[in-house]
Amino acid sequence: MYSFKDITDGIDSILHLFLNDTFATLAELILAGLALIGAYAVLALTLIYAERKICAAFQCRIGPSRTGKWGVFQTVADMIKILFKELIRLDHNDRFLFRVAPFIVIIASMCTFAALPFAKNLHAIDFNMGVFYLIAVSSLGVIGILLAGWSSNSKYTMIGAMRSGAQLISYEISAGLSLLAVVILSGTMKISEIVEQQSEMWFIFRGHVPAIIAFFTYIIAGHAETNRGPFDLPEAESELTAGYHTEYSGIQFGFYYLAEYLNMFIVAAIAAVMFFGGWMPLHVSGWDGFNYIMDCIPSFIWFFGKTFACVFIALWVRWSFPRLRIDQLLNFEWKILMPICLINIILMSLIVVF
């Protein structure tokens, strides 16, 4: 199978020709950071285009079609437009917190992004407790949302921020618990090992019923964590104009927009890694010819294919269901989803032990 190790090792040895160890490491850190930011931007553009096209298909429209063939450059044009927009200054608010809040949201999602395995040997951070790291840093974004709601000094944003806070804190629990079920099955929290263990068969097929339950609870909870789909009451446009980012304009609003789309991607990518084996091709033990053909497909195509399949599910749900009420939303989490997750963990432990 083609591996990215040749490229990364090549860059490493070239840098070591010109620089000493310290500066070579520093240069590699900066290069990795730039590559991640670039991937972040490109993925955001792709996702926004995909969302517009898929949404159009669900509503029997054509979607963007004028800019470029099939409108592929529409989101690029929109990006240029948003970069030139004016940043509106508000009166009677806390300027500092107003400026800081979008950065907190986007940094939280960037941190999660860095720990994803994009392809074989293309994995920026591989911690021993990778899954725990993912859960930990994805809980930072809520602070940015709360600060944004407060510092805009408006009732709409405040209500939006409070709803979002309650929703994110509650659904984080279910998301964490359903990932924990997979951790129990694999016996490790290291993401590279979790992917490696799925070389025989993906966890969703190997983990019997609990893995399938965990997948569905994770998709629901992750969906709620991204403030999208039927769970978008923090920005319910019919009641709250636009929720917590009502007062933002220009690229500051763009940051929230980017973070929202990338969070959707991240949730889908974590689901793909934990349940569908990340970049690991579909292997069936014994079928050597089949496995060989599967290995010929490059690993990043597997990763992005699985992730975009999960993104498609998210978009499908989003454009199919009506919005929930806040009390229904919280009741659903605390009275239905979390007990299911807890029972699921017990089931999974029983299966692993016996």
Partner 1 sequence: METSANTIIFYILGAIIVLSSIMAVAYRGILRATTFLLFVLIGTAGLYFLLDYHFLAAVQLSIYVGGILVLFIFAILLTSRTYKPEPRDKFRVVMAVMTVLTGIAVTVSVLFKHRFLYSSNPTIVEHRETDMKIIGKALTGADKYQYLLAFEVMSILLLVCVIAGILIARKR
- Contacts to partner 1 by CB under 8 A: 21-22, 25-26, 94, 96-97, 100, 104, 127-129, 132-133, 135-137, 139-140, 142-143, 146-147, 150-151, 158, 161-162, 165, 169, 172, 188-190
Alpha carbons 208 and 330: distance in angstroms, whole number: 29
Across-strand partners of 122?
Answer: 119
Long-range contacts of 59-66, Cβ-Cβ distance < 8 Å, separation of 24 or more:
59/319
Nearer to partner 1, 119 or 175 (CB): 175
Q: Which is nearer to partner 1, 1 or 129 (CB)?
A: 129
Please state the closest distance from residue 150 (CB atom) to partner 1, in A.
6
Shortest Cβ distance from residue 340 to partner 1 (Å)? Answer: 18
Q: Looking at this protein, which amino acid is placed at residue 261?
A: Y
Question: What is the nearest approach in angstroms of partner 1 to the Cβ of residue 127?
Answer: 5
Contact 348, 185 (CB under 8 A): yes
Nearer to partner 1 (CB atom), residue 150 or residue 303: 150
Least distance to partner 1, CB of residue 283, Å: 26
Cβ neighbours, 10 Å, residue 253: 19
CB of 94 to partner 1, least distance (A): 7
Rounded Cα–Cα distance for residues 94 and 102 (Å):
14
For residue 329, what are the CA distances in angstroms to 221, 233, 238, 337, 354?
11, 9, 18, 10, 36
Cβ proximity to partner 1, 14 vs 29, nearer residue: 29
Question: What minimum distance in Å lies between the beta carbon of 113 and partner 1?
Answer: 15
Please say which residue, 184 or 220, places its beta carbon nearer to partner 1: 184
C-alpha span between 327 and 114 (Å, rounded): 35
Nearer to partner 1, 72 or 166 (CB): 166
Q: Are 121 and 5 in contact (CB under 8 A)?
A: yes
